[in-house]
Every structure is written in C-alpha cells, then in structure tokens.
Amino acid sequence: MSVAIIGAGAFGTALAVSLASKGPVTLWGRDIEWAGLGENPRLPGVALPSALRITDRLEEIEAETVLLALPAQVLGGFLAEHGKRFDGRNLVSCAKGIDLATLT
C-alpha cells in the first residue's frame, strides 16, 4: 500500500517518519525549505529517513492512501480546493482540534 501525508508540520512529519520505517512515504507541505536539511525544525533531533520523499507539489501525490494531517481549521478549505485531486483514494483525517465554523 502506498501512503502520502498532507501536512508537513511536526505532527505530519512524525507520522511520515514513523510510516517510512515500513516503506516509501511522500510528505506534502507548503513550506518545505527545510527538506534538504535532514530534519524538520518543528521536530528537532528527528532524522528524516531515506524512504521519505518531501514535496510541495500536490500533483506528485500518487499514493492510494492519503493521511490528512492538517489542522481542523484548514481541513475543509483544503478539501474544497483540492479534494477532487484525491477522488478514488483512501482519505484518512488526522486533524487535530475543532473547526470553529462548523464545530466538527
């Protein structure tokens, strides 16, 4: 099973590092200037494994299972804008918090 994670903050990166021990994982983030440094500054001291590919291009996400590690406040907007791109794939919400607009 191929896996990708949307959201390259500390939580998304931790998920990606953990899953990359089992095989290739793609991690997507908007601000990934740290990608070549070997660690995410939001998760200091945690080395990025070689099985982890980091991108800021959604079109590079080809995984059949996509974990959405975005804050609840932005998850709905992200899916409204980009959700069609993931039609036919398994989407797993890993959102933290509550969307204050919908209280979900």
* Domain membership flag for residue 64: yes
Q: What is the mean pLDDT of the chain?
A: 94
* Domain membership flag for residue 84: yes
* Domain membership flag for residue 63: yes
Give the domain range for residue 45. Answer: 3-93
The Cα angle at residue 14 between residues 56 and 19, in degrees rounded to 5? 90
* Domain membership flag for residue 57: yes
How many whole angstroms separate alpha carbon 27 and alpha carbon 8? 6
Least confident of 43-47, 64-68, 96-100: 96-100
* Domain membership flag for residue 104: no
Mean pLDDT of 49-76: 96
* Domain membership flag for residue 89: yes
Strands 3-6 and 90-93: unpaired
* Domain membership flag for residue 39: yes
Specify the pLDDT at position 67.
98
Look up the CATH number of the domain holding residue 60.
Answer: 3.40.50.720
The count of structural domains within the chain is: 1
What 3-state class would DSSP assign to 89?
Answer: coil
Specify the pLDDT at position 78.
96
